[in-house]
């Protein structure tokens, strides 16, 4: 029996919120031995947010299963989009659309046309999602940390 190839894993992003108080920025400046300009603070904050998301993503799901699920979403969106343009009695189609729009506006103040546009955007996102998922696949457990350190090094050198 030949050995099975290990599969890349990808994670679920858990949106963590964090903040750095003025007092903590002062502590960082003291430890760093320099003032940290506002522009640099914004870049450090963004790099840290990216690292936290990346750390959460490491090793939580198999890439093939995630791409399969994305494909299922894309297929469902395609079927729904096909229904928007399916041939039939125009008066019936128009009346059905108006009835659906009543229900949509009661829930979220969304029109039938807007829902169609959202569905098209969703289908487009599903088309791009496998490439995004593949780019987020993680082989090691410290990739997010290593990228963060490199980003911080570049930011600090610039300022």
Residue at 101 is within a domain: yes
Please report the pLDDT score of residue 139 as a whole number.
57
Same structural domain, 43 and 32: yes
Please report the pLDDT score of residue 13 as a whole number.
47
Q: What's the predicted TM-score (pTM) here?
A: 0.51
Residue at 84 is within a domain: yes
CB 57 within 8 A of CB 136: yes
CB 111 within 8 A of CB 100: no
Same structural domain, 87 and 101: yes
Residue at 4 is within a domain: no
Please report the pLDDT score of residue 122 as a whole number.
96
Start-to-end CA span in the chain (Å) = 56
- In this prediction, the residues of the chain whose per-residue pLDDT falls under 50 are 1-8, 11-14
Please report the pLDDT score of residue 114 as a whole number.
93
Class of residue 77 by CB neighbours under 10 A (exposed 0-12, middle 13-18, buried 19+): buried
Residue at 42 is within a domain: yes
Same structural domain, 103 and 48: no
Please report the pLDDT score of residue 71 as a whole number.
95
Tell me the pairing of strands 9-10 and 61-62. Answer: antiparallel
Residue at 53 is within a domain: yes
Angle at the Cα of 57 from the Cα atoms of 6 and 117, rounded to 5 degrees: 110
Residue 36's domain comprises: 20-59+138-159
């Amino acid at each position: 029996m030949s050995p099975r190839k290990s599969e890349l894993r990808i994670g679920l992003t858990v949106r963590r919120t964090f903040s750095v108080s003025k007092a903590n920025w002062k502590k960082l400046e003291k430890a760093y031995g320099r003032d940290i300009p506002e522009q640099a603070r914004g870049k450090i904050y963004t790099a840290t947010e990216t690292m936290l998301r990346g750390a959460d993503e490491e090793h939580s799901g198999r890439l093939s299963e995630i791409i399969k699920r994305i494909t299922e979403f894309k297929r469902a969106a395609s079927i729904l989009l096909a229904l928007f343009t399916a041939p039939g009695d125009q008066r019936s189609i128009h009346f059905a659309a108006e009835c659906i729009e009543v229900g949509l506006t009661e829930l979220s103040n969304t029109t039938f046309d807007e829902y169609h546009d959202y569905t098209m955007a969703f289908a487009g996102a599903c088309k791009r999602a496998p490439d995004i998922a593949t780019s987020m696949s993680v082989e090691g457990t410290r990739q997010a940390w290593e990228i963060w350190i490199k980003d911080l090094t570049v930011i600090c050198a610039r300022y």
